[in-house]
Amino acid sequence: MGSHFTKRARARVACFASALALVAAPARAEDRAEYATPLDETAQQTLPTPQPSTSERIGALPQAPAKVAPPDPVSLKFIASQFLDLPVSGDAAETLRYGGKIDAYLDLKGSAFGLDDSIKLHVHPEFKYGESANGAIGLIPANTQLFYPGDGDVFDLSVNVTKTWKNGTSLTVGKVNILDIATQLPVSGGGGHEGFQNLAMALPPSAIVPGSITGALLNVPTKDALFRLWVFDPVSSSRQSGLEDPFGKGVAFLGSVTFPVKIGGKRGYYAIKLAGSTRSEIAAESLPAVLVPAPGSSFGNRQGEFSATLAFAQFLTEYADAPGKGIGVFGQVYFSNGDPTFLDRSGFIGIAGNPRFRLQDKFGVAYFRYSITDELVDVLRTRLPLEDEEGVEAFYTYGLSKELRLTADVQVVDSAIAFRDVGITMSLRLTASF
């Protein structure tokens, strides 16, 4: 992780710098049009409807209703991010690292196979390459997209099928990338291509729900709440099909209820989540080797784990002329019963949103704190002295055009590794979506 640039890495950085120079030019007129303020519904309803002239009304033949093209049963989206990470303070070597992540999202509705469109096939290939500063300062990965799906230049594939009923209830079966779900978080966003980069906020770890799962996910929306019930294999499916040894180490579940609430006319979302599994060993596949106890240790022998999470996201202001945009606060607290779960409590709180003067931009600031289970700290004491990890992350995303966004990010982290000094990492992220 502290190695100097290879020739290959320097070439990648040169390409990245060239891309920055191109996108830094003033936006084209067609790009600026993307950010023009739209009319709200009330204004549209009060506009006068154009009337035909007398000559047009007299002798006009009836017109056949225009045919509306059916929705395309196939949709394809790409999102690619390039990163430059540089530790600038602390014990880590001040080495510039370059890496990238490319994701494709292919959705095929049932009509593409001669079936009903209530059925959808989702295919998500992803490829990660290059280096990152993950692990250079804190134990929690500072760059989520360069942490999944594994070390080095790696490829992964998620495939699942969803059935959606008319009332909105849906059932998804297959291999699911949890980062896809994290991107839907209100206010903060998530996933690491956008918004916060540190795993603490981009995909809050529970040590029970891995970043890639194989199972069944039921979502039931009602007038008053959204209910979720997931049943899945507790072993991470990252870089696996998920069918090698399904449920060989137990079964896991997640149940949650999210309440939409309006406070002062502003939307908010408040959730209770319960998760657990029947596994009787530490989730070694999700941890660096240094945190995995030696065989025969006193940690990781108890069967069953359980956690509870309270989370919220509340808009403080919303822009009537830009639906879905505004500024809000968000946070979460998490508790588990410990062994064999390697985290026993955690929490974060922050603010994020869009500045009023540039709706295409986004900013965020958040504080987090994570605690490793006391029993695990005791077992590893002679190998590695550990304590709680805490830090602050701040970012600002500048919308260069409809397709390109440039983010500056800074993280200040007091590592869980006790003998490390407080470290600072600065990074740039260039994200393209099309």
Q: Is residue 173 classed exposed, middle or buried when 0-12, 13-18 and 19+ CB atoms within 10 A define those classes?
A: middle
Fill in the DSSP letter of residue 291: G
Name the residue among 347, 286, 354, 345 with its Cα closest to residue 312: 347
CB atoms within 10 A of CB 204: 21
> Identity (one letter) of the amino acid at 366?
A
Which residues, at least 6 apart from 209, have a Cβ–Cβ distance to it below 8 Å? 178, 230, 232, 252, 254, 275
Is residue 210 a contact partner of residue 259, using CB atoms and an 8 Å limit?
no
- Give the chain's mean pLDDT: 86
Does pLDDT of 1 surpass 80? no
Distance CA 350, CA 335 (A): 19
Q: What is the pLDDT of residues 160-177, one digit of tens each?
A: 999 999 999 999 999 999
pLDDT tier at 34, thresholds 50, 70, 90: very low
CA gap 192, 204 in Å, rounded: 11
Q: pLDDT tens, 389-416?
A: 999 999 999 999 999 999 999 999 999 9
**C-alpha angle 73-79-82 in degrees, rounded to nearest 5:** 170
3-state secondary structure of 29: helix
> What distance in Å separates the CA atoms of residue 124 and residue 205, rounded to the nearest whole number?
21
Residue owning tokens 């056949």:
64
Does the CA dihedral 192-193-196-197 come out positive or negative? Answer: positive
Q: Which of these ranges, 22-26, 38-42, 380-384, has the smallest mean pLDDT?
A: 38-42
Q: Decide if pLDDT at 342 tops 80.
A: yes
Of 336, 337, 77, give the one whose Cα is nearest residue 193. Answer: 77
pLDDT at position 66 is 59
Strand stretches in 14-151, DSSP E: 74-89, 97-109, 119-130
Task: List the single range of 236-240, 283-287, 377-381, 422-426 with lowest mean pLDDT.
Answer: 283-287
| Cβ–Cβ under 8 Å, residues 277 and 305 | yes
Which residues are CB-neighbours of 45 under 8 A, at least 6 positions away? Answer: none
Q: Is 250 exposed, middle or buried (0-12, 13-18, 19+ CB in 10 A)?
A: middle
Interacting residues of 285 by C-beta distance below 8 A, sequence separation 6+: 210, 235, 236, 238
Are 85 and 16 in contact, with CB atoms under 8 Å apart? no
Alpha-carbon gap, residue 223 to 260, rounded angstroms: 9
**pTM of the full structure:** 0.82
List, in order of start, the domains of the chain with CATH numbers: 163-433 (2.40.160)
CB-based contacts of 3, cutoff 8 Å, min separation 6: 95, 131
